Structure 1
Amino acid sequence: MEDISVITAISHPLRRRIIDRLFMYGPTQVGVLARAFEAQVGSVSHHLRMLQKAGVVEQVDAPDGDRRASWWQLSRRSFTWSADDYDSPADALMAREAQRANVRHQLDRLQRWYRISPQSEAEGFSTDSLAWATQAELSELQRRLNALVDEWRGGIDRSDGQQRMPVFFFAHGFPTEV
């Protein structure tokens, strides 16, 4: 179960984009983040400090040793929570809103892809399925999907000289009515 302060920190739209960028590119200078998001350095620094307070990012030394530049990296790479994990009604409400914000983030990415896909040479994919399952079987599906994605990501050799593009993958599995 995530501490509610972590969930609150990561559910902000700009902070989520910062997390995603640090995940994809590794340690990054605050000015580079500000330019990438067309934001003020002070604003990005504020959000980085909020993420640092929640234990999500940490400040690191500049690769070139320049102490004038502020560099940041992720302290952790995944977050899992359910609104059902919280006894406090206020915390449960915040966790549910964070879940909604996460889904909006995912759907916004998908909509952006569909807007640019007709002009893109790259192809994406869509998949969905229906099945009967117990809660334990659904949890096992989640574990296996996470393991598969981790294995796939770990097998990519970024030193082979091939041109790569950032790829976003998401899937949802949940009880539903038929």
Structure 2
Amino acid sequence: MEDISVITAVHHPLRRRIVDHLLLHEKAQVGTLARALDAQVGSISHHLRMLQRAGVAEQIQAPDGDRRASWWRLIRTSLSWSSRDYADSPADAYLAREARRLNVRHQLERLQQWNRASPNSDVQGFNTDALAWATPAELSDLSQRIVETLETWRSGIDREDGQRRMPVYFFAHGFPTEV
């Protein structure tokens, strides 16, 4: 079970953007993050410290050894939680539900952004869905398999092979429904 402080730390809108940037670029200097995210350096530093306190990001040595530069990377690359994990604390359950709501909003905003831009894109996206019968354990197994597949896929990409790549966003939800 995730500590609620980790979930709430990541789901602040600017911190979520910082996490996304670090996921793609592996490490970044505070000034680079500020320019990329159109934010003030002081604000980025504050939010990185919040992510550090939550155990999500850490400050690292500058690749060029310059001690004046503040470089950061992620320690955690994924989170998984359910508001039911916090049934003993109504306040924490509320925070977990709110983080889930913010997460879905973030995902849908990205999808809407893609849909607006896709008619002008040379790159084809995809969508998929499925409907099946499953127990709670089988649904949990599906979630784990998807996470493992994504990690295997992401770790198999050779970013140094000279090919032109673009950021790709993937999200999926699995949940009980009625037909």
Report TM bin, short chain.
over 0.9
Shift of residue 80 of structure 1?
A: 1.1
User: What is the rounded CA distance, in whole Å, between the counterparts of 1:68 and 1:170 in structure 2?
Assistant: 37
Distance 1:144 1:28 in 2: 30
Distance, in Å, in 2 between the alignment partners of 1:170 and 1:117 is 17
Letter in 2 for 1:149: L
Aligned pair 1:172/2:173, yes or no?
Answer: yes
1:94 partner amino acid: L
In 1, Cα distance between the equivalents of 2:48 and 2:160?
A: 30
Q: Which residue number in structure 2 is paired with residue 148 of structure 1?
A: 149
Rounded to whole Å, the distance in 2 between the matches of 1:160 and 1:34 is 28
In structure 2, the residue matched to 1:125 is 126
Cα distance in 1 between the residues matched to 2:84 and 2:162: 46
The CA distance in 1 between the partners of 2:71 and 2:159, in whole Å, is 22
| Other-structure match for 2:115 | 114
Aligned position for 2:26: 26
1:141 shift after superposition: 1.1
Distance in 2 between residues matched to 1:144 and 1:4, nearest whole Å: 24
Q: Report the equivalent of 1:79.
A: 79
Corresponding residue for residue 161 of structure 1: 162
Cα offset, 1:145, TM superposition? 1.4
SS in 1 for 2:166: coil
C-alpha distance in 2 between matches for 1:105 and 1:69 = 30
Tell me how far apart the structure 2 counterparts of residues 47 and 100 of structure 1 sit (CA, whole Å): 21
Which residue number corresponds to residue 88 of structure 1? 89
Q: What TM-score does the superposition give when structure 2 sets the normalisation length? A: 0.96
Work out whether 1:105 is the aligned partner of 2:111: no
Runs of at least 5 residues in structure 1 that lack an aligned partner in the other structure: none
Larger deviation: 106-115 or 136-145? Answer: 136-145
Moved over 6 A (4+): none
Q: Percent identity, aligned pairs only?
A: 70
CA-based RMSD of the aligned residues comes to 0.9
TM-score relative to the length of structure 1: 0.97
Distance 1:29 1:51 in 2: 15
CA distance in 1 between counterparts of 2:155 and 2:53 reads 29
Shift of 1:115: 0.9
| Alpha-carbon distance in structure 2 between the residues aligned to 1:50 and 1:152 | 29
- Structure 2: runs of 5 or more not aligned: none
CA deviation string 1:35-64 (max 9, x = no partner)? 001111011111111111111111111111
CA-CA distance at 1:117 after TM superposition:
0.6
Given residue 92 of structure 2, which amino acid in structure 1 is its aligned partner? D
- Cα offset, 1:158, TM superposition: 2.0
Alignment partners' CA distance in 2, 1:81 and 1:41: 31
Q: What corresponds to 1:37 in structure 2?
A: 37
Give 1:10 deviation, angstroms: 0.5
CA distance in 2, matches of 1:112, 1:82: 27
